[in-house]
Amino acid sequence: HLTIARAAGNALLAEIIQNLLDREERFNHLSHMLNDRNAAAFDEHSEMVEALVAGDGDRAERVMAAGIESARSFVVEALLASPSIQSANVTRPYDPER
């Protein structure tokens, strides 16, 4: 993702993507500890490279959007399936005094 933004010459987008990747790294690792998505991610990235090599921006956009949604769903489902998440009390607002 970062390579694509850099190759497009969009420094601001590259900086934003780097920041997002840094922030999502923990969720990504935890999710992959709970489930395996490597084959799907490989296929999505391969299709993205094919679209870029072919110069098909519309297809690349569709593949990227679908891959992001698939990864988002994967992370959410993995976290919700985690027993420690299921037993966490997340209904009470955070109170720094507690």
Q: Is the pLDDT reported for residue 95 higher than 80?
A: no
Instruction: Give the model's confidence band at 14: pLDDT under 50 very low, under 70 low, under 90 confident, else very high.
Output: very high
The pLDDT > 70 percentage for the chain reads 88
Written as six digits, the tokens of 88 are 């966490």
Q: How far apart are CA 40 and CA 17, in angstroms?
A: 21
Q: Is the pLDDT reported for residue 89 higher than 70?
A: no
pLDDT for 90 equals 59
The pTM score is 0.62
Closest CA to 76 of 28, 43, 41: 28
Between 59 and 4, name the one with better pLDDT.
59
Average pLDDT of the residues in 13-38: 82
Q: Is the dihedral of CA 85, 28, 49, 18 positive or negative?
A: positive
Average pLDDT, the chain: 84
